[in-house]
Amino acid sequence: MKVTQYGEGACRDRLEHLRSQAHEILGEIYNSGLDHLNAQKIIALASDISDLVDERDFTSALREFQDYAPYPLTHPFMVAILGLMICKKLDWNTDRTLLAVGVGALLHDVGMTKLPERVIATHPNDLSPEDLIQYHKHCEHGMNIVAAVPSIPVAVQQIVYQHHEYSAKGFPHGLNNLKVYPLAKVVCLSDRFARFLILNQVGPIDGLKKFVASKEELRLHDPEIVRAFIKSFIKDEKAR
């Protein structure tokens, strides 16, 4: 991928510009559905986010990021950023896996559009048993939505379907880490960290120490993914 060095101020502007793009594209998808045209927009956006993560001053720009409104649109954007940061620290990352993670992260909650409004508007911890079953179905709904668009990489289907699977405690099947698709593990951790940041209204850099201090949380995830997650926030001066 072509990388253009922006500089810190320009990198912050680029980050905000891509967030605005994500809001526009995701809003269109959530309102009108996923089709070939907006799938191509999502693919291009994932590529642009991946390029931005490579920037010299990206970590500095990310340090100031703390405006998460509106949640339904900014959350998947943050999951994409975090997922791509992690993926770039894994030995098995390729352009194909980076694209799948970026697109899968941006679309991981697209199945929520098939849920009743009362379920969407309620925190999962506060849902009735019946509505919780409905909520758990958003993974399957999302996989089906993605599968209906041939231009979306096939790997995205598994990411969307399994992004809530972790250490036999997730859903829809309670798979242990050995049985979860590796790229879904990346998006799962990114999703949970993004939710943590938004719940606590802290930036990614400041939130990192608090998040990794939770041994119970870290035990839910594949150790290799956790190591890559932590390394993704460490600026490698030699690589710059």
For residue 2, being part of any structural domain is answered with no
| DSSP class of 149 | -
Q: What is the pLDDT of residue 8?
A: 62
Q: What's the whole-model pTM score?
A: 0.93
**What is the mean pLDDT of each successive set of 10 residues along the chain, which is 240 residues long?**
58 96 98 97 98 92 91 97 97 94 98 96 93 97 98 97 94 94 98 96 93 93 96 63
Q: Provide the domain count of the chain.
A: 1
Q: What is the pLDDT of residue 7?
A: 60
With a CB cutoff of 8 Å and minimum separation 6, the contacts of 207 are 193, 196, 197, 200
Q: What is the pLDDT of residue 234?
A: 81
- Residue 76: CATH number of its domain: 1.10.3210.10
For residue 1, being part of any structural domain is answered with no
Q: What is the pLDDT of residue 238?
A: 41
3-state SS class at 69: coil
CB 77 within 8 A of CB 107: no
Measured distance CA(56)–CA(86) in Å, rounded: 16
Q: Is 36 exposed, middle or buried (0-12, 13-18, 19+ CB in 10 A)?
A: exposed
Chain segment 135-185, per-residue pLDDT in tens:
999 999 999 999 999 999 999 999 999 999 998 899 999 999 999 999 999
Q: What is the pLDDT of residue 239?
A: 42
Measured distance CA(86)–CA(81) in Å, rounded: 9
Q: What is the pLDDT of residue 207?
A: 94
85: containing domain: 8-239
Question: Nearest-CA neighbor of 88 among 79, 77, 98, 100?
Answer: 98
Numbers of helices and strands, H then E, in the chain: 13, 0
